[in-house]
Amino acid sequence: MNYLLDTQSLLWLRLNPKKLKPEQIEVLTSSEEEKFVSSISLWEISLKFSLGKLDLGGHKPDEFTGSLTSIGLKHITPSVDQWSTYHLLPPVKNHKDFFDRMIIWQAMQSGVTLLSSDAKFADYKPHSLKVI
């Protein structure tokens, strides 16, 4: 099975792994699973850092993200089809965060399981999102 980390899980993995759930740690430490980080998360981290809304513990976004492959994470970027069909993602009450919704759509369209601790993501399960 393949997994896509949401931005929060990625930040916790790099800055505070104790916040991850045991089942998330199991996936992240498995050598049998492919784990991905979306370019959307990297953009979100860089944007929020530049606005002063994100503390990376003394690191800059490019330093932070440059080490992802060394811990077994692969980068993926939304395809043209994923960008152009984003409008098909069903609306979910009180969830308008573009970054979250695009990562959800990317996971759904790529057939991967989303690794997230965000309770709002479970609202997308009836729409075929697989989430841990």
Instruction: Provide the CATH number for the domain around residue 79.
Output: 3.40.50.1010
Identify whether 132 is part of a domain: no
Task: Give pTM, 2 decimals.
Answer: 0.92
d(Cα 22, Cα 44) in Å, to the nearest integer?
Answer: 25
Residue 64 in any domain: the answer is: yes
- 23 within a domain of the structure (yes/no): yes
Instruction: Give the domain range for residue 101.
Output: 2-127
Count up the domains in the chain and report the number. Answer: 1
Confidence of residue 71 (pLDDT cuts 50, 70, 90): confident
Whether 49 maps to a domain, the answer reads: yes
Tokens of 122: 């479970």
* Average pLDDT of the segment spanning 92-109: 93
CB crowding 1-35: b at 16 or more within 10 Å, else e: eebbbbbbbbbbbbeeeeebeeebeebbeeeeeeb
Residue 54 belongs to a domain = yes
Position 66 pLDDT exceeds 80:
no
For residue range 4-56, list pLDDT tens digits in order. Answer: 999 999 999 999 999 999 999 999 988 888 999 999 999 999 999 999 999 99
